[in-house]
Structures are given as C-alpha cells and as structure tokens.
Chain A
Amino acid sequence: MLRCVGIVVPNKMVIPAKTGILIKIILKKMAHEHKLEIFRGLWKFKSNTAKIWGVLAFLTFITIIEVALGIVKPESLMGMFLGMKILNWIFIILTIVKAYYITWDFMHMRDEVKALRRMVVWTAIFLILYLIFILLQEGGYIETVYSSGFVKRDF
C-alpha cells in the first residue's frame, strides 16, 4: 500500500497511465528530490550537498571577478554601450547570473513546477523592467535640463 499526501492506492489496483504519472510527480516533489545538475547538465553532482558547494564555488568565482574588475577598472571596458559603460553592463549581467543561481539552487526554484516559477519570476521581472525604464528615462531627461543651462547648480 502506497500512502502519501492523501493518496491511498491499494496494492492490486490498476492505475490509469496518466494518473500514475501525476502520482509519481507528486511523490517526487514530496520526497524533496532535487535536480542535481547546473549549466544545463554540464556540471553534474552526486548529492544535493555537493551541488550546494559547487554553486558556492561558482558564486565566489563570480564575486572575485566582480571585485577584481572593480579595483582594476580596465581601460578597454570604459567604452560606452547603450548609454552605460561596458564595465557596468558586465557588472549587471554578472549580478543577474548570481541572482539566478541563488534563486534556482539555494531557494530550490529549479525543483518547483513551471507555473510557480513563472508566477514569481516573470511578474517581478516585468514590473521591475518597467519601473527601471520609466525612472531612468526621467532621470536622464532632468539631467539634460540641468546640463543644457536652464538650471544653475554649480555655485
């Protein structure tokens, strides 16, 4: 007899294939099973603990790159791209990479169902991008008003 999360299945009962898969999925979730690979399967781990240390190594690596770039500030990355220094774009992209691995592996978003993932991530990303767009656009506009001499600030 299989008892778990309110599902009671007698031993000899024939379960239709579809229901069987559903039960399997639910059982898998309840057993806290983790997907033990990152980088789309490029780096596989033997246990969840090993995965945690692997992700830590990766996050530390990225932080070290960030700090090194922040201290050295290579001249070659000072060019502008889409209104911002290339170096700043690199920082922002590395931050999002870090955020992805914290959410996916430390917060176990990787193991949640697709609908929950999208509810949380897409909502936040959409609203944040919208907010950033309007505020930075407006800030840039006010800056042009200041710098084109209509407002005196340097006195």
Chain B
Amino acid sequence: MNTTVATGTEGKTWGGGNKPLTASYGKMMMWFFIVSDALTFSGFLAAYGFSRFKFIDSWPIADEVFTHFPFLHGVEAPMYYVAFMTFVLIMSSVTMVLAVDAGHHMNKAKVTIYMFLTVIGGIIFVGSQAWEWNTFIKGEFGAVQTKGGNILQFVDAEGHRVAVADFAKVETGTRTQHESKNGLWFVDEGALPAYTMDEINNGLAAHPEVLVRTQIINEAGKKTVLSREESVKQLKENGRLFVQGANLHVNEYGSPLFADFFFFITGFHGFHVLSGVIINIIIFFNVILGTYERRKSYEMVEKVGLYWHFVDLVWVFVFTFFYLV
C-alpha cells in the first residue's frame, strides 16, 4: 500500500518544486547555520573587546606574548608564526573552493586531490594551534603575581625581559609540597611554585641590573618600568606568587582574562577546524567511493565548503583581534 499522499501539486511551487532564493535546501540551511555561528563567535569577540576596554591601560601587548617560532629558540619573531597559520588556512580555503569548482565540472579525480589537500591544510593548522597553545602554557620568562592579581615582570636596563630563573637565589631546605600522605589527609595542595617569594626577593636584591616592569601601559604605548628602588619595594610589598606561563588562573604576560579569552576563543575556533577536518575526511571518502558521481551532483562538497570557508572567515577576525589590534 502506498503511504504517500498525492496532492496534485508535486513539482509545483507549493509542492516543493520551487527552490526559494534559487538555492537548494541544504545550502540555504548551511547559510543560516553560518549566520548563527557567526553571531556566537561575535559574542565571544565582543566579550573580549569588553574586557579589553575595561582594562585598556594594562592589557597584554600581543607582540610581546606570541614571539615564538618553532625551532627558533630565543629568536624574537612576533607574528610570523600566526601569519603562517593564517596563510595555511587561506590556502586550504583555496583548495576547497577548487574542489567545489571541480565538482561543478563532475571531475572526480580533481575533487579527490583538492579535498585531500584541504584536509592536510586543516591538520597543519590544528597542529600549529596546538604548538601555539603549548608555548603559551609553558611560558618563557616567568613573572610574579601581586596581591591585587597584577603581574610584575623583570627586565634589564635595555628593557629586555629577564627570566626569573636567571637571577632568583635558590635556597636549600625550603618547604616541600604538602601531600595527604605526609600531613593532613583531608587537605590537598597543588604543586609548589618553582621559586618562593624569598628566593626572588633575595635574587632581585643581589642583581642591581634587574628592574621590575608593571603591566600599566604608559603614554608611549609601552609597559611601565619601575626605578631600582621602586622595583625592590614593589616586589617586596606586593609580590605574592611566582607564575610561569599561562592557564585559566594565572598568566605571566598580564591579565588572566587575556589567557582565558585566548584559550576559549582559539579553542572554540580550533574545535570548529577539527570538526571541519573530520567532515572533510568523510566527504573525501564519499568522493572516492563515487557517492556524488552516482548522485550526479557534488553539492555536498559545496555545502561542507561553505562551512570550511566560514572557519577561515572566523580565523581572519580572531587573527585581527588577538594578534594585530
């Protein structure tokens, strides 16, 4: 028995025969998904802008944070790596659009190659982001957090950063980490900081060339460097905790909010890239299996293409607001 009901309008406008806006259902819905996802990302970026405007006089300067390049230790290379990542993502967008174009010409071989290259580009990008996160989490110089939650960094007379490890006086016989097995069983303590405040204070006193740099930005757009007396005083009175690298609680480069937003926004974007790569891989295998050849249309490639370009589009904005502005 046939369960479909014939209405006599099949193939006509009210029977679904018309394509609104001359776009297919799937493509139009992908566009609407992209609009809503774009609003999500702009919510995040606008929240970042809110926090930044709130702490406009002390926000970390991105050029001083992301200065690393793989295999080039100690070389200051601000922006180069992220520029490379941007280029990788734009290139994979190009191979994606070439795959879409080849799909229009029903050229299976070319779609296969271009989809493959797109996946590779996506993997390189996600890998680069992992490296970027790793570098950011590990940190480089270390700094001291004050009672007020501000960050004090250390510089030499020329204004170059000095690692805490280079001047802190390590004392022997300092206290060991409390564990439930050697003390109160119901109390936990996280790993102790690599240096105690005493060690850093003594180290600063013994190294007259080291100065403290606060996170306040002066008129010249640089972070304020304190005089020698002020440095010693500020560290002694307000310094509370040695911090190295960044996580969701502390950030050696400045406001912890910067790290929070960095992890959250680039993480959310990275997750989009990862899911894009997975979807692209699925489509890639469908192309190889000839699914779209039998369907006589490569529109599916076009739809995932839209998503992939959107991911690239978001990165263009993340790049601007995290690294440039």
Contact = CB atoms under 8 A, between A and B. Distances in A.
Interface of A: 5-6, 25-26, 29-30, 32, 48-49, 52-53, 56, 59-60, 63, 66-67, 70-71, 78, 88, 91-92, 94-95, 98-99, 102-103, 105-108, 112-113, 115-116, 119-120, 123-124, 127-128, 131-132, 135-136, 138-140, 142-143, 146-147, 152-155
**Which 8 pairs across A and B sit closest by C-beta, in order of nearness?**
A139-B53, A139-B50, A155-B148, A135-B50, A116-B21, A95-B320, A29-B22, A32-B104
Given A107-B306, A127-B39, A139-B54, A6 B86 contact: no
Contacts of B8: none
Interface in B21-54: 21-23, 28, 31-32, 34-35, 38-39, 42-43, 46-47, 49-54
A111 B145 CA distance: 54
Contacts of A30: 22
Q: Is chain A's interface secondary structure helix, strand, loop, or mixed overall?
A: helix
Main SS of chain B's interface residues?
helix
B23 A116 contact: yes
Given A143-B56, A155-B147, A52 B38 contact: no
Contacts, number: 150
B63 interface: yes
Contacts of A91: 320, 324-325
A76 B104 CA distance: 48
Contact of B78 (A66, A71, A78, A140): A71
15 contacts: A56-B91, A66-B320, A70-B63, A71-B78, A95-B316, A98-B316, A99-B317, A107-B309, A124-B35, A131-B43, A131-B46, A139-B49, A143-B53, A146-B54, A155-B148
A132 B53 contact: no
A103 B325 contact: no
Given A32-B104, A70-B63, A63 B83 contact: yes
B183 interface: no
